[in-house]
Structure 1
Amino acid sequence: MEILAPGPLATVQDFGRPGWSRLGLSSSGAADFRSLALANRLVGNTEDAAGIEATWGGLRIRAHCRRVDGRTSIVYVSLTGAPCPIDVNGRPAAWCGPIALRDGDVLTLGAPTSGLRTYLAVRGGLAVPPVLGSRSTDLLSGTGPAPLAAGDRLAVGQPVAPMPGVDLAPCTAPPEQFLLRVWPGPRSDWFTQASLRELLTASWQATSRSNRVGLRLSGPPLTRCREEELPAEGMVSGALQVPPSGQPVLFLTDHPVTGGYPVVAVVHGDDLPLAGQIPPGASIRFRLHQATAWES
């Protein structure tokens, strides 16, 4: 697969490299791992095979197919995640279904109509060299392959299973307003009760200063009731860390493994793929996963 244009940002992603936090590395991996898993299933891959995560469309690739027994072979790809216009050589192509590419075919993605990240899986998976057991790009640490650039060529691996025989899979587009369930954070007692209620009742907006490391949110400042310094402690994906500005930061897949600001809440793990689809300017609301004293 030859990259003709990467769009705003395109990276190679699989399910990440968990278990290396002692070296200062987050697990990284696809921000919306469910969409990557579906794209892989549509072309007969294992769910965790490496594919391309395209942020805000703009990706253009050319297929280079080898000849087998005097005939040019076909490579199958599929696209899931944030829906966007797709064409092959200028002709519209299927969303959430297998697409056959022949030698020299050019596939182009437009801007998403909702959501932020689109996933491209290729039958056989991308065979870039793994680093610490994963082919994922970690933007914060620089681990894994560099973000894709025009002219890059990505090797494709061998298929591991038959094609599933599915023409189209049902896909739900990301919403216009995102509702994320949260657990109380380990430092929720550092905030006033009024701020805890504000977190759950206000509408928050993802700012343009967001990326795979985290979403910077804009809304009513959250006020602390404790002002002492907090020693650095471990961070996880989904942590809502609150810096002195009072504007929360929602950590995503490439987050730092430690932080020195209090975590008021943590997004439920099942909602992290949805959080990975939040574009700048989108509206976000939080809801407690289970009732606690916060709601009194």
Structure 2
Amino acid sequence: MSVEIHPTAIVAKGAELADGVSVGPFCIVGERVKIGPDTRLKSHVVVEGSTTIGARNEIHAFAVLGGPPQHTAYKGEDTRLEIGDDNIIREHATMNIGTVAGGGLTKVGSKGLYMIESHVGHDCVVGDNVILIKQATLGGHCLLGDFVIVGGLAAVHQFTRVGPHAMIGGLAAVVKDVIPYGSVWGNHAHLEGLNLVGLKRRGFSRETINTLRAAYRLLFADEGTFQERLEDTARTFADSPEVMEIINFIRADASRPLCLPEREV
């Protein structure tokens, strides 16, 4: 297979384009860019910096990938952006390279959908099957697990963790960590419950969902201290990998506090 480059596109010497890559009108591809097989740049796409893009990605007009971090400490260091396979990156979406202080790498997984004007900040690590709805924004150093959905116009504060299968409602301002399978809403966001719709869509069994609901009620009940409830939940549901994923997420060292319910569960 050959590479297709529109006559109006600019592809720098040194860029590496695999078989089947298509570079559309008025695109700009930098000299340190690597693009995997069958990836398509529609038109007016800018890919710069030390950016590696995997296979079969579809990148739409005016997306900018690999731009410098929006951070005053960045002084032009050769940091990186890595994007996986089979993503759809829509118009005006932006993904920045990392910073030296943050490890030098922004990493985006595979099979994601990044809608219009969504943003992945420097040093973020984003899992697979993630959806950022229109104008959703990730500050620097955010960690998103697999199957996370971030609603339209929602913003996730820098250094915040969002566990796998969590749902963030539209317009939410997320300044605290979100447990796996959780659903949060509001400004500032609070935990509303579990992401039951997402769990059902992804084929989690009724038994698993009921176990998660029981664990959630125990973990966020009014009785005792939170630490006591955490240990009770860990003992009671030790055989559930999904519940233990929540427990381990909470126990892990974190720079942000935990997003909690506003009311009784």
TM range (shorter): under 0.3
Q: TM-score, normalised by structure 2?
A: 0.23
Q: TM-score, normalised by structure 1?
A: 0.21
Higher normalized helix content (fraction of residues): 2
Higher relative contact order (CA 8 A, sep 6+): 1
